[in-house]
Structure 1
Amino acid sequence: MSINLKSPVFAGNPITSKTPKSTDLFSPTQAFEALKNLSLGQNLISLTFKILPFRKGKPLAGSSGDLVKKWHLGWLNFDDLKDVLDGSEVSLSEDLFVYLGHENESVVYWGIDVSLGGESLVEKFGVRQLCFVQLTTLMVATDWADDNAMGQLAIAGHARSLLEWHSTSRFCGSCGEKLIPIEAGRRKQCISESCKKRIYPRVDPVVIMLVIDKENDRALLSKQSKFVPRMWSCLSGFLEPGESLEEAVRRETWEETGIEVGEVVYHSSQPWPVGPSSMPCQLMIGFLAYASSLEINVDKKELEDAEWHSREDVKKALTFTEYEKAQKTAAWKVDQICKGVEKGQNVAADFSVESGELVPLFVPGPFAIAHHLISSWAHQVVGNTSQARYTRL
């Protein structure tokens, strides 16, 4: 079987495909003015506002009760959100909202951080069969062949990146004064009259590479202590100042495994909004890197292990049974949390699901660019930034 992805997971956001002009009704400025009027009880234009609350980096979500990878984001209209927040620690200020985009002729989307609301707020949402779920859980539970679900996941990822950026970017790096949101939360500005520095959301570039031994038809896979048992993946690392992407690939490979790399070939990229809150907006930039040396010397501070694996072993590692079971497990968790069955459980943990016949190793699922780097080499599929064909075993 195979699956066609129009774009990588977390890319292909259906409501941010075009940057609106300042004169557009749906521009951030115009939409924000309409939101302010609505908060004052003045609905001057016929717009529908759909608002997605987040708490501690988790989007509000719900379950349809169908445990075959079905979930939905917990969008609320303004009145419903106001009703839920009434009496809570969160004051409904327009400065809390971030503009996410628009759809058709009348719908504007917003994100809002309600982390200050406490457990009482969680209970109020629970009455509506809605719960705050880790984005990684929704990522695993998503049916990647469902374009609508993929779009909703991309919207949630974009919203999380913006809201976490607001949470961590509170003060001006030039003068130390407070930063305030502007342009409907898409920018921030220093309050000091003598400074007024504008701050823009930044993307942290991460190189991720599959290192290949051409002569012996092998690929280098590594594992970290935080990985679930039997899971191996690609090497990766952050770009350093003054460094090209190719140089970063070679440096990280050398530092972590002692392998020297020659040719470096770009494959594809993927937004990654599920990193730590200190780095909420990462861009994974994928490469195929060809080794010019073969002896491995693992840096144990960075990796638990690294090994060469044959093409046949890597093909076996792409066993889709494990991913399908993980999808069902994650969907079940969303359903249980929304019913209050697993209230308080840490759902950030990886799902160590087992298939009937265990493969010696497996790699991250199709939600991760590492899967597609590995799959493209194992099945000789050429990477494509617009659409790529990936193989299910």
Structure 2
Amino acid sequence: MLLFLPRPLTLTRTLCYVTRFSATMSTNLQTQAFAGNPIRSKTPKSTDPFSPTSALESLKTRLLDNTLHCQPQKHHSSLSSSSSSSPDFKVLPFRKGRPLTYSGPGETAPVWHLGWISLGDCKIFLANSGIELKEEALVYLGSRSADDVVYWAIDVSDGDSLASEFGSKQLCFVELRTLMVATDWADQRAMADLAIAGHARALLEWHNVSRFCGHCGEKTIPKEAGKLKQCSNASCKKRIYPRVDPVVIMLVIDRENDRVLLSRQSRFVPRMWSCIAGFIEPGESLEEAVRRETWEETGIEVGEVVYHTSQPWPVGPNSMPCQLMVGFYAYAKSFEINVDKEELEDARWHSREDVKKALTFAEYIKAQRTAAAKVEQMCKGVERGQSLAADFNVESGELAPMFIPGPFAIAHHLISSWVYKDAPDGVQVQTAPSSTSMSNL
């Protein structure tokens, strides 16, 4: 088969892309990866046929309908709904945290899409693996009343034959991190699909880690179409809601606003530097967490803390199904670095020019196209052992002295908006906090 090879990038084209991205996308919350989910912007009232409650009742009825059958999709190998009832139901299967996807042609690179299947298809596929489809296995994701569709997710990890069965239709379960890198940032549909997949993975992983009540130890059962769980013990009935793990991530800036503190962890690929980050502790404000984490990891004392943006992060470990990254600018009051080697490998001050070069040399478009080509290979059953964690190179072929995470990460938005002196709406970036305000913190 023909393997897509990305068009070579010139340094000028790469710089133009990064500059354009930094000037427009980094300040728009809707462009953050995993944000802007189009099917969960509003929850319908319980009496609405698209609400979780009404949809669940309709789901129970349809699962008892033996006339559900498979019907090929008109435009692709993904499968469509065969039910004429309103609203229509579409299901997104996941296997071991990986959503079902397929790949199609794009203008400059392959484009991945979510592999939605009909409720009837889902019932038959599971039956072929010896699994009965029950309503508690399906998790409500959202709806589009304009399209007359309700969307669901399901974990099919127990269906051992499903991967090969879907593979025969050029559908494949792909890691969400791979899809994250493969997403074309100018493609609104791809960004929307990424947000939907992230939300679905977070909910399904939360269901997997909350099977038992933390109070009495009895089994939990899904309620309200999977929006929450409840203890099955009649004397307990404790309600459990989806878990969100807040993390502060901060770009520490010196008093003159011409240097930033970047760090490296041992798990980073060579030459990658990023922002400092850490989990919020109980009884702690966001600002306190920023100051504490910066001090503990680098020995730098932080004064003023300014909110930047936030980002859902559903690609962490399964035990933390959805982290919420809360980004800040943090202004340093001290400048001597004392790295905690248990937390970081290194931390250094970097000038604006050095960071700008890192943005220039990192070929994010090339990385996206390479990942998109890999997804296409996987969906066609010809996956190759190509690493997506390779170093970013300059056009001459030499290794870039340093690079920062790609546009899928909030760290990129924090750093690029500082480099190009571009602040999000409503935030006033200060060139140097006054000595008076610093001394009062």
Flag whether TM exceeds 0.5 (same fold): yes
1:329/1:351 contact within 8 Å kept: no
Q: State the secondary structure of the residue aligned to 1:112.
A: strand
Larger Rg: 2
- 1:167, CA displacement in angstroms? 0.3
Question: Residue 373 in 1 paired to residue 414 in 2?
Answer: yes
Contact 2:255 2:333 in 1 (8 A): no
Select the structure that is richer in strand. 1
1:24 is aligned to 48
Kindly provide the CA deviation profile for residues 125-167 of structure 1, in whole angstroms up to 9, marking residues without a partner as x.
1011011101111111111111111111100000000000000
Distance 1:161 1:22 in 2: 23
1:151 is the counterpart of 2:175: no
1:351-390, aligned counterparts within 5 Å? 351-357=390-396, 358-384=399-425
One of 303, 324, 337 as aligned partner of 1:296: 337
Q: What's the offset of the Cα at 1:56?
A: 0.6
2:245 is aligned, of 204, 210, 221, to 204
1:233 corresponds to 2:257: no
SS of residue matched to 2:256: coil
How far apart in 1 are the matches of 2:252 and 2:43? 37
CA distance in 2, matches of 1:320, 1:110: 41
Q: Identify which of 87, 97, 116 aligns with 1:57.
A: 97
Aligned partner of 1:13 in structure 2 is 37
Task: State whether structure 2 residue 366 is matched by structure 1 residue 325.
Answer: yes
User: Of 296, 305, 314, which aligns to 2:346?
Assistant: 305
* 1:238-257 deviations in Å (ceiling 9; x for gaps): 00001010010011001111
CA distance in 2, matches of 1:91, 1:295: 62
- Partner residue in 2 for 1:389: none
Quick one: which amino acid aligns to residue 47 of structure 2?
T
Per the alignment, residue 46 of structure 1 pairs with 86
Distance 1:272 1:320 in 2: 26
Q: Retained in 2: the 8 A contact 1:234–1:370?
A: yes
State the AA in 1 paired with 2:150: V
Q: How far has the Cα of 1:325 moved from its partner?
A: 1.4
Letter in 2 for 1:222: S
Contact 2:272/2:403, CA 8 A, preserved across alignment: yes
Q: How many angstroms does 1:44 deviate by?
A: 8.6
Two-structure CA RMSD over aligned residues (Å)? 1.9
Matched-pair contact (CA < 8 Å) for 1:206–1:237: yes
2:38 counterpart letter in structure 1: P
**Which of these residues, 39, 50, 57, is aligned with residue 33 of structure 1?**
57
Q: Contact 2:361/2:394 (CA < 8 Å) preserved in 1?
A: no
User: Are 1:268 and 1:384, in contact at CA under 8 Å, matched by a contact in 2?
Assistant: no
Show structure 1 runs of 5+ residues with no match.
Answer: 387-393
The correspondence of residues 1-393 of structure 1 with structure 2, limited to 5 A, is: 1=16, 2-3=20-21, 4-5=24-25, 6=28, 7=30, 8-41=32-65, 45-66=85-106, 68-105=109-146, 106-118=148-160, 120-215=161-256, 217-319=258-360, 321-342=362-383, 350-357=389-396, 358-384=399-425
Deviation by residue 1:319-369 (Cα, 9 ceiling, x = unmatched): 2652111101111110111111128x698x635443424421111111111
- CA distance in structure 2 between the partners assigned to 1:10 and 1:229 by the alignment: 26
C-alpha change, 1:68 and 1:92, in structure 2 (3 Å) is same
Cα distance 1:123–1:145, how it changes in 2: closer, same or farther (>3 A)?
Answer: same
- Work out the CA distance in 2 between the residues paired with 1:351 and 1:116: 33
Tell me what 1:391 maps to: none
Residues 166 and 216 of structure 1: CA distance in aligned 2, closer, same or farther (over 3 Å): closer
Alpha-carbon spacing, 1:318–1:39, altered in 2? closer, same or farther (3 Å): same
Q: What percent of counterpart residues are identical?
A: 67
TM-score, reference length from structure 2: 0.83
The CA deviation at 1:265 is 0.6
State the distance in 2 between where 1:97 and 1:216 align.
50
Asked if the contact 1:322–1:354 (Cα under 8 Å) also holds between the matched residues in 2, the reply is yes
Question: Structure 1's 320 and 75: CA in aligned 2 closer, same or farther, altered over 3 A?
Answer: farther
Contact map agreement 1:326 1:351 (CA 8 A) in 2 = no
Q: Secondary structure at the match of 1:116?
A: coil
Post-superposition shift, 1:201?
A: 0.5
Structure 1 length-normalised TM: 0.93
Following superposition, the deviation at residue 289 of structure 1 comes to 0.3
